[in-house]
Structure 1
Amino acid sequence: MRVTHRFHPLFGRDFEFVAHRQNWGEDRVHLHDENGELFSLPAGWTDVAPVDPFVVVADGRCAFTTDGLLAVADLIDRRRAQRDGDEEVRRITP
């Protein structure tokens, strides 16, 4: 099994595959490192998961997927709403 996530420090390295399962609501693979220690990674960061068609078509020309950008936009909206709610509590009214 190979790590395929470009920005992961283990990118390109091969590990002994142990299991592929759902853990904590996430699709994960469990592996043994060179010392026999068990660790896990999201399946999408490895060659166990099918290749995302968007990634194939983009061929390195796009740093972000649509799903990734939508997730970031949602996070920003939630943080902005949380921040705005905090300001309401701190505001002193006459």
Structure 2
Amino acid sequence: MPWHGLESDSADGASIHFSGCPRSSPWGPWNKQSTAPVKPDQIRRFRITHPYHPLFAQEFELVLHAQNWHEDRAWFHDATGHLRSLPAMWTSLVAEDPFNMVSAGRAAFRVEELLELVSLLHEGKS
């Protein structure tokens, strides 16, 4: 029996779509998820690079690197085996922002941000 709002086009339920959505909808039909094990040469490791994160400089095995609620996130198992995630920009998976590399922590704000602040302050005075 299909879930409320979902319809299946096949006996095994491999092709499912939302009822009421056109067949060309980006949400359907879905592909079956692979259950094949990851090969050892496909294992990726990453390091947490955010200086204030409690796991800073520790290395973990990547479980998944994906968008979650419009945010690029890295999923991993911590030392206790719990599945955790954090923004990928806090890891070695994403290249460091060129501005941060050049400023080396010496600048608290970018020029664009300071100009925007000046604009907001001028708007507040008028």
| TM bucket, shorter chain | 0.5 to 0.7
**Alpha-carbon offset, residue 66 of structure 1:** 2.9
TM-score, normalised via structure 2 length: 0.49
Structure showing greater radius of gyration is 2
Q: Is the 8 A contact 1:33 1:39 kept in 2?
A: yes
Cα deviation for residue 65 of structure 1 reads 4.7
Q: Unmatched 5+ residue regions in structure 2? A: 1-45, 122-126
TM, length-normalised to structure 1: 0.64
What percentage of aligned pairs have identical amino acids? Answer: 49
1:55 aligns with 2:100: yes
1:61 deviates by 1.5
Q: Distance in 1 between matches of 2:67 and 2:110?
A: 24
Q: What is the correspondence of 1:20-39 to structure 2 with a 5 Å cutoff?
A: 20-39=65-84
Q: Give the structure 2 partner of residue 81 of structure 1.
A: none
Structure 1: 5+ residue runs without aligned partners? 78-94
| Higher RCO, Cα 8 Å, sep 6+ | 1
Q: What is the distance in 2 between the residues matched to 1:18 and 1:57?
A: 31
Q: Residues 5-84 of structure 1 correspond to what in structure 2 (within 5 A)? A: 5-62=50-107, 64-66=108-110
